């Protein structure tokens, strides 16, 4: 259901007016390709989530919006998808992509100023708080065998 919803709702005609959510597809694609891919410019494959977003953004032009639903609808659908994956909805919010990507990047490079750019944080203190929180969450996260298989399959896709 989640994949079908994303495919159906990632489209060009979207507005930020009237409380509707809007995401610039080109910026999302560029951000995930250039900044959150494992290995940076080494050509190694990036995270499975980045590949999914890249696929969903194919054919969209700069400035095109990719999702057109209310914030409440998006949160509800997001929670459904996370629960279907068996991850539990309270700990995995959409913001986790930003925080998790910057945390992964920091773990790989140990470069806080560069991680600040990746996470789009203006202040080092803020970046440090979020990255340290991300590291603590990562250290305490235990996935079930089924979720581990899903993640491994997604990483190979």
pLDDT digits (tens, 9 = 90+) for 47-103: 565 666 676 677 777 767 666 677 788 778 778 877 777 776 566 777 777 787 888
Residue 20 and residue 69 in contact, taking contact as beta carbons nearer than 8 Å? yes
pTM exceeds 0.75: no
Q: What is the mean pLDDT of residues 11-21?
A: 35
Per-domain residue ranges for the chain?
A: 95-143
CB burial of residue 40 (10 Å; 0-12, 13-18, 19+): middle
């Amino acid at each position: 259901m989640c994949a079908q919803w994303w495919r159906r709702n990632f489209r060009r005609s979207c507005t930020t007016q009237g409380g509707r959510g809007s995401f610039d597809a080109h910026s999302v694609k560029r951000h995930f390709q250039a900044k959150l891919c494992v290995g940076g410019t080494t050509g190694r494959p990036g995270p499975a989530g980045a590949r999914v977003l890249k696929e969903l953004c194919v054919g969209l032009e700069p400035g095109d919006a990719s999702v057109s639903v209310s914030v409440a609808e998006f949160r509800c659908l997001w929670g459904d998808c996370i629960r279907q994956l068996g991850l539990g909805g309270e700990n995995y919010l959409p913001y986790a992509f930003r925080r998790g990507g910057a945390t992964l990047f920091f773990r790989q490079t140990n470069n806080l100023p560069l991680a600040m750019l990746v996470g789009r944080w203006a202040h080092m203190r803020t970046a440090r708080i979020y990255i340290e929180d991300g590291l603590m969450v990562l250290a305490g996260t235990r996935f079930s065998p089924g979720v581990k298989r899903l993640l491994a399959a997604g990483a190979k896709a």
